[in-house]
């Protein structure tokens, strides 16, 4: 009898220990998610390609469930989009590969739902992340298609963000989301090539800035990138249009938000 009781106690102890270890591992992974997400965002602004690759790989190794798993997928996709953009003029093949991986990674977000019984706030967070994931997928798909063209070709034949399946889902789910609007505006700004197109891109980016201004502060742990990006692209468009005063104003504001923003610094040197 004592032997049976001792065995039962041992099993119970092992179960408790296993649960404690699992809980500790999950907590460690959640902390790693927060750390790596911040580092990916910082490296994307600083233009640090190797660090970005390292942190994406680290994020991919985490084992997460629920909303943290959506954030994991989100920041892997975000990092791959930024990698593709950083390498598009240097290593076109690698840039196309990262854009393709991002497009595939961001797909199928409809299956990533809030847990049953979640609060309205939690459901809204998950819906927001899914909409931005669709937007990232559309941006990655567009960049992959552009990078697949022969250098020097026009991008007239590229499917627009709005007409793509993922882009349409993003805009339908969250038409006023500033990051969704930003990814649409960037695609237009990237292709702008004359005064009318620059004016249109400028208007879109100013609408993005208005959306960011109307947005409440991001919740702890939720994505908060985008405003500095919008200002940098606005500075770029003003610079293309020859308005150096407005370009400088936008770029200096971008650097107030992200002091290590390498592209904004490069553009500001052109202004000066």
CA 223 to chain centroid, in Å, comes to 8
Q: What is the pLDDT of residues 76-123, one digit of tens each?
A: 999 999 999 999 988 999 999 999 988 887 554 444 555 555 678 888
Whole-number Å distance between alpha carbons of 62 and 59: 6
Q: Are 155 and 120 in contact (CB under 8 A)?
A: no
CA distance linking residue 165 with residue 90, whole number of Å: 29
- Report which of 131, 121, 135, 134 is spatially closest to residue 221, judged by C-alpha positions: 121
pLDDT, residue 146, reads 85
Alpha helix stretches (DSSP H) within 61-155? 67-87, 92-106, 120-148
Structure tokens at 35: 């750390």
CA dihedral over 110, 38, 202, 216, signed as positive or negative:
positive
Q: What is the pLDDT of residue 185?
A: 93
Pair of tokens at residue 271: 């202004």
Q: What is the pLDDT along the chain (272 residues), one digit of tens a residue?
A: 555 556 555 555 544 444 444 455 567 888 999 999 999 999 999 999 999 999 999 999 999 888 889 999 999 999 999 999 999 988 999 999 999 988 887 554 444 555 555 678 888 888 999 999 999 999 999 889 888 875 555 444 344 565 567 788 888 888 899 999 999 999 889 888 899 999 999 999 999 999 999 988 888 888 999 999 999 999 999 999 999 999 999 999 999 999 999 999 999 999 98
Distance between CA 64 and CA 132 in Å, rounded?
19
* pLDDT tens by residue, 148-167: 875 555 444 344 565 567 78
The residues, ordered by sequence, that sit 6+ positions from 133 with a Cβ below 8 Å of its Cβ are 70, 73, 74, 77, 106, 109, 112
Cα dihedral 222, 137, 189, 214 sign: negative
Distance CA 149, CA 143 (A): 10
Q: Judge whether 141 and 103 are in contact, CB under 8 Å.
A: yes
**What is the predicted pLDDT for the residue at 5?**
55
> Residue 104: what pLDDT?
80
Q: How far apart are CA 240 and CA 262, in angstroms?
A: 18
Q: What is the pLDDT of residue 112?
A: 56
- Which pTM does this prediction carry? 0.83
- Distance between CA 180 and CA 178 in Å, rounded? 5
Q: Distances from the Cα of 252 to the Cαs of 11, 225, 237, 243, 255, in angstroms?
A: 63, 17, 14, 14, 5
The reported pLDDT for the residue numbered 156 is: 41
Inter-residue contact 130 to 138 (CB < 8 Å): no
């Amino acid at each position: 009898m004592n032997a049976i009781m001792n065995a039962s106690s041992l099993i119970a102890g092992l179960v408790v220990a296993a649960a404690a270890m699992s809980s500790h591992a999950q907590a460690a992974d959640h902390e790693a998610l927060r750390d790596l997400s911040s580092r990916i965002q910082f490296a994307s602004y600083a233009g640090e390609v190797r660090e970005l690759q390292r942190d994406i790989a680290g994020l991919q190794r985490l084992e997460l469930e629920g909303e943290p798993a959506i954030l994991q997928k989100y920041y892997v996709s975000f990092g791959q989009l930024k990698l593709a953009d950083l390498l598009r003029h240097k290593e076109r093949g690698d840039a196309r590969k990262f854009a393709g991986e991002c497009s595939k990674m961001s797909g199928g977000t409809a299956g990533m739902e809030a847990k049953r019984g979640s609060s309205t706030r939690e459901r809204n967070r998950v819906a927001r992340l899914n909409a931005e994931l669709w937007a990232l997928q559309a941006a990655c798909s567009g960049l992959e298609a552009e990078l697949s063209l022969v250098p020097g070709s026009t991008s007239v034949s590229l499917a627009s963000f709005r007409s793509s399946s993922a882009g349409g889902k993003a805009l339908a789910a969250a038409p006023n989301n500033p990051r969704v609007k930003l990814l649409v505006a960037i695609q237009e700004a990237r292709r702008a090539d004359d005064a009318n197109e620059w004016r249109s891109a400028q208007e879109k980016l100013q609408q993005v800035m208005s959306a960011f201004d109307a947005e409440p502060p991001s919740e702890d742990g939720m994505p908060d990138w985008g405003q500095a990006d919008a200002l940098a692209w606005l500075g770029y468009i003003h610079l293309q249009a020859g308005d150096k005063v407005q370009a400088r104003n936008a770029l200096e504001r971008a650097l107030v938000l992200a002091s290590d923003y390498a592209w904004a610094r490069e553009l500001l040197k052109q202004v000066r």
